[in-house]
Structure 1
Amino acid sequence: MDQNTLLKVEDLKTCFFTDSGIVASVDGVSFSVNRGETVAIVGESGCGKSVTSLSIMGLLGSSGKIVNGSIRFEGNDLLKLSKKEMRTIRGNNIAMIFQEPLTSLNPVFTVGYQIRETILIHEKISKDAAKQRVIELLKQVGIPHSERIYHSFPHSLSGGMRQRVMIAMAIACRPKLIIADEPTTALDVTIQAQILEILKSLKELNDTTILLITHDLGVVAEVADRVMVMYAGQLVEQSDVFSLFSAPKHPYTLGLLNSTPKIHRLSEQLESIEGSVPNPLQMPVGCRFHPRCPSAMDLCRQSPPPAISMSEREEVKCWLYAETKEAAGG
Structure 2
Amino acid sequence: MSESNVVLNVQQLHTSFKTNSGYVQSVKDVSFQVQKGETLAIVGESGSGKSVTALSIMGLIEKPGVIEKGKIELEQVDLTKINDKEYRKLRGNDIAMIFQEPLTSLNPLFTIGNQIAEAIKLHQGLDTKQAKVNVIELLKRVGIPRAEKVYYSYPHTLSGGMRQRVMIAMALSCKPKLLIADEPTTALDVTIQAQILELMKKLKDENNTAIILITHDLGVVAEMADSVAVMYAGQIVEFADVFTIFADPKHPYTQGLLNSTPKFYEKNEVLQSIKGTVPTSNSMPIGCRFNPRCPYVTQKCLNENPSLKKLDSGRQVRCWLVEEEGETLV
- Fold shared, TM-score > 0.5 on shorter chain: yes
* Structure 2 residue 197 is the aligned partner of structure 1 residue 196: yes
Q: CA deviation at 1:165?
A: 0.1
Give, as a single letter, the amino acid of the residue that structure 2 aligns with 1:70: K
* Structure 2 residue 58 is the aligned partner of structure 1 residue 57: yes
1:136–1:312 Cα change, 3 Å? farther
Report what 1:230 is aligned to: 231
Q: CA deviation at 1:200?
A: 0.5
Q: Which runs of 5+ in 2 are unaligned?
A: none
Distance 2:56 2:168 in 1: 20
Secondary structure of 2:192's aligned partner? helix
- Is contact 1:21–1:281 with CA below 8 Å preserved after alignment? no
- Is contact 1:41–1:212 with CA below 8 Å preserved after alignment? yes
Give, as a single letter, the amino acid of the residue that structure 1 aligns with 2:16: C
Report what 1:300 is aligned to: 301
Q: Normalising by structure 1, what TM-score?
A: 0.97
Within-5 A mapping of 1:110-149 = 110-149=111-150
1:233–1:113 Cα change, 3 Å? same
Distance 1:64 1:185 in 2: 26
Q: CA deviation at 1:20?
A: 4.8
Q: Which runs of 5+ in 1 are unaligned?
A: none
Report what 2:257 is aligned to: 256
Q: CA deviation at 1:267?
A: 2.2
* Structure 2 residue 325 is the aligned partner of structure 1 residue 324: yes
Secondary structure of 1:23's aligned partner? strand
Distance 2:329 2:197 in 1: 43
Give, as a single letter, the amino acid of the residue that structure 2 aligns with 1:83: D
Report what 2:151 is aligned to: 150
Cα shift readout 1:51-107 (whole Å, capped 9, x = no counterpart): 000000010122110001110110111000010000000000000000101111000
Distance 1:127 1:267 in 2: 59
Cα shift readout 1:217-249 (whole Å, capped 9, x = no counterpart): 111001000000000000000010001001001
Distance 1:87 1:279 in 2: 31
Report what 1:46 is aligned to: 47
Distance 2:56 2:279 in 1: 22
RMSD over aligned Cα atoms: 1.3
Distance 1:193 1:84 in 2: 37
Report what 1:275 is aligned to: 276
Within-5 A mapping of 1:24-35 = 24-35=25-36
Give, as a single letter, the amino acid of the residue that structure 1 aligns with 2:57: I
Report what 2:18 is aligned to: 17
Distance 1:311 1:305 in 2: 17
Within-5 A mapping of 1:167-246 = 167-246=168-247
* Structure 2 residue 99 is the aligned partner of structure 1 residue 98: yes
Q: What is the aligned residue count?
A: 329
Distance 1:266 1:112 in 2: 49
Distance 1:312 1:137 in 2: 42
Q: CA deviation at 1:329?
A: 8.4
Distance 2:193 2:21 in 1: 38
**Runs of 4 or more consecutive aligned structure 1 residues displaced over 4 Å after TM superposition:** none
Give, as a single letter, the amino acid of the residue that structure 2 aligns with 1:191: I
Distance 2:192 2:167 in 1: 14
Distance 1:259 1:20 in 2: 36
1:329–1:239 Cα change, 3 Å? closer
- Is contact 1:180–1:210 with CA below 8 Å preserved after alignment? yes
Distance 1:265 1:24 in 2: 41
- Is contact 2:287–2:303 with CA below 8 Å preserved after alignment? yes
Distance 1:133 1:59 in 2: 27
- Is contact 2:312–2:329 with CA below 8 Å preserved after alignment? no
- Work out the percentage of aligned pairs sharing the same amino acid: 60
